[in-house]
Amino acid sequence: MILLSNLIITFMNKAQLIGNLTKDVELRNTQSGKIVGGVTLATNKTITDQAGNKNKQATFHNLVIWNKAAEILAQYAHKGSKIYVEGEISNRSYDKPDGTKGYVSEIIVQEFEFLDGKAPDGAEPRETTAAPRTAAAAPKKPVGESEQSGTEEISVKNIPF
C-alpha cells in the first residue's frame, strides 16, 4: 500500500476474461491429492489494417482451476464453450527438457460462469461458480498448491443444476 497525502493506493491483481475454450479441461491430481484443471481460453479482438479490412486476432490465456470447481468446469464446459472467468495472474518458471528455463503466465481462476445458455447435457445454465479461495485477510503469496489447503469446498447441494 502506498500513501500519498490523504490518498491510499492499494495493489490489485485481477483478470476478467470472456472467451472460448480451445480444448476440453484436463484434470490432474497433485501429489497431495488435490485436483487441478488446466485449459486454454481464447479471446478475440478486431483489428483494422491500413487498407481498412477488419481482422480478428486471438490471444490465448492459460487457465488453472482447483478442486471441485475444476471438476464442475470439466463436466459442463468443453472445447468451444463460451465462459467468463475471473482470477489472479500468476507467473512461474520451469525447467525445459533442454536445460533452459521456461516461463509461463497463467490465470488462477477464482470464479467462472457459463455464457452459452445451456450446458452441453441440456441442464439449465448456472450462476457464477466460485473456485476455492483463501481467506481475504491472508497476505498475498505466490499462488501454488500450498495456498489451496485452507480453502472452502463447494457443496454439490449449492449447485443449481
Higher pLDDT, 149 or 34: 34
For the chain, the average pLDDT equals 79
CB atoms within 10 A of CB 55: 9
pLDDT at 133: 41
pLDDT tens digits, one per residue of 84-132? 999 999 999 999 999 999 999 999 999 999 998 765 555 554 444 555 4
Give 1's pLDDT tier (boundaries 50, 70, 90). Answer: low
pLDDT at 63: 97
Spell out the alpha helix ranges (H) of 85-134: none
Domain 12-137 falls in which CATH fold?
A: OB fold (Dihydrolipoamide Acetyltransferase, E2P) (2.40.50)
CA atoms of 37 and 53, how far apart (whole Å) = 38
Residue 52 to residues 46, 48, 57, 122, Cα–Cα distance (Å): 12, 6, 15, 42
All three cell numbers of 83: 465462459
pLDDT at 11: 84
Q: Is 60 exceeded by the pLDDT of residue 54?
A: yes
All three cell numbers of 45: 479482438
Q: Is 90 exceeded by the pLDDT of residue 77?
A: yes
Residue 77 to residues 69, 121, 145, Cα–Cα distance (Å): 12, 10, 23
Higher pLDDT, 100 or 161: 100
- Name residue 9's amino acid: I
Q: Mean pLDDT: which of 40-44, 45-49, 119-123, 140-144 is highest? A: 40-44
Q: Are 66 and 132 in contact (CB under 8 A)?
A: yes
Residue 117 to residues 57, 78, 105, Cα–Cα distance (Å): 25, 14, 30
Does the predicted TM-score (pTM) go above 0.75? no
pLDDT at 16: 97
pLDDT at 117: 73
Identify any residues that bridge with 64 across adjacent strands, giving them in sequence order.
Answer: 38, 108
